[in-house]
Amino acid sequence: MKTCLMRFILLAGLASVLLSSPAEAVASAPSPAPAPAHAKLSYRRIFKSSSPEFIEIVVRDDSDAATYEIRQLDEEPGASPFEVSAPLREKMFELAAQLKYFQGQDQYLDVHRRIANLGEKTFRWEKGTESHETKFNYTLNSAASQLMQIFEGLARQQELVALLERRMKYDRLGINDALLQFETDLNHKLLPEPQRALPTLDQIAGDSRFVQVGRQRARALAERIRHPS
């Protein structure tokens, strides 16, 4: 009797282990580590009655892929892709870090003086579920000014490339005027990454449908960008 009872207990225990093992294995299996959150940095300027009235640039810390939107406020919204190099993005995120990723900066960034309206600027930083932003009209903060100049320069750069591409399609005789605008900003070092325009400049330089003076200027600009003095 005792032997039968003992055998029954052993069999019941073994069945219990076999039945519970899969569930316990699943429960005890380590869950996959969450993907690391990557940060986004954006700049927006809204300035009514200016041209353009709306600018927004968004860059990421983990990718060259960025977006820009440049338009009048009554135009259809929509961002377009472009690229920002790793060294420039690193500089931008370093400046954002100096500004504590815009946390609690509202009372410090703007000069809070009675000056002309220069447009509402917004810096925004996002990482995962965390986000901070600050708005200002005008600032004397060095890091904020540098970051704003980079963003504004990227917007101007994309605006000029878009202008060149429109002239190439619809106004070939006006290509030299567009190149002059590009050259002026290049001379003043306002374009953060002028090499982004090289494919467009090379195309103009090699296309006999454009006026010779425009082709020569495009060729000279491309040479300057490739071999800065």
* More reliable by pLDDT, 109 or 91: 91
pLDDT at res. 10: 42
Task: List the domain boundaries for the chain.
Answer: 39-226
pLDDT at res. 212: 96
Per-residue 3-state assignment (H helix, E strand, C coil) for the chain? CHHHHHHHHHHHHHHHHHHHHHHHHHHHCCCCCCCCCCEEEEEEEECCCCCCCEEEEEEECCCCEEEEEEECCCCCCCCEEEECCHHHHHHHHHHHHHCHHHCCCHHHHECCCCCCCCCEEEEEEEECCEEEEEEECCECCHHHHHHHHHHHHHHHHHHHHHHHHHHHHHCHHHHHHHHHHHHHHHHCCCCCCHHHHHHHHHHHHCCCCCCHHHHHHHHHHHHHHHCCC
pTM assigned to the model: 0.84
Q: Is the pLDDT of residue 156 over 70?
A: yes
Q: Is the pLDDT of residue 95 over 70?
A: yes
Q: What is the mean pLDDT of residues 67-89?
A: 97
pLDDT tier for residue 31 given thresholds of 50, 70 and 90: low
196-228 pLDDT, tens digit each: 999 999 999 999 999 999 999 999 999 999 999
Q: What percent of the chain has pLDDT over 90?
A: 78
Q: What is the mean pLDDT of residues 66-77?
A: 97
Q: What is the mean pLDDT of residues 136-158?
A: 97
Q: What is the mean pLDDT of residues 64-68?
A: 98
pLDDT at res. 5: 41
Q: Is the pLDDT of residue 173 over 90?
A: yes
Q: What is the mean pLDDT of residues 43-66?
A: 97
